Amino acid sequence: MPQPRVLILRAPGANCDVEAQFAFEQAGGLAERLHINRLRENPKLLHQYQILVIPGGFAYGDDVAAGKILANQLQHFLGDALRRFRDREKLILGICNGFQVLLKAGMIMPPDDDGPLATLAHNAHGRFEDRWIFMQATAGRCVFLKGYQRLHLPIAHGEGNFVCRQEWILKGLEQAGQIVLRYVDSEGKPGPFPINPNGSQGDVAGVCDPSGRVLGLMPHPERHVLPTQHPQWTRHGLAPEGDGLRLFRNAVEHFR
From the list 16, 19, 96, 122, the catalytic residue is 96
Q: How far apart are CA 212 and CA 107, in angstroms?
A: 12
Phi-psi region of 251 (alpha: psi -120 to 50; beta: other; left: phi over 0): alpha
Q: Which residues of 202-228 are buried (b: 16+ CB within 10 A; e: fewer)?
A: bbbbbbbbeebbbbbbbbbbbbbbbbe
DSSP summary character for residue 254 = T
From the list 122, 157, 208, 220, the catalytic residue is 220
Interacting residues of 173 by C-beta distance below 8 A, sequence separation 6+? 109, 118, 164, 179, 207
96 is catalytic: yes
222 is catalytic: yes
CB 90 within 8 A of CB 50: yes
DSSP summary character for residue 105 = T
220 is catalytic: yes
Residue positions counted in the chain: 256
Q: How far apart are CA 82 and CA 90, in angstroms?
A: 10
Q: How far apart are CA 188 and CA 235, in angstroms?
A: 21
Phi-psi region of 67 (alpha: psi -120 to 50; beta: other; left: phi over 0): left
CB 138 within 8 A of CB 178: no
From the list 208, 222, 224, 230, the catalytic residue is 222
The residues assigned a catalytic role are 96, 220, 222
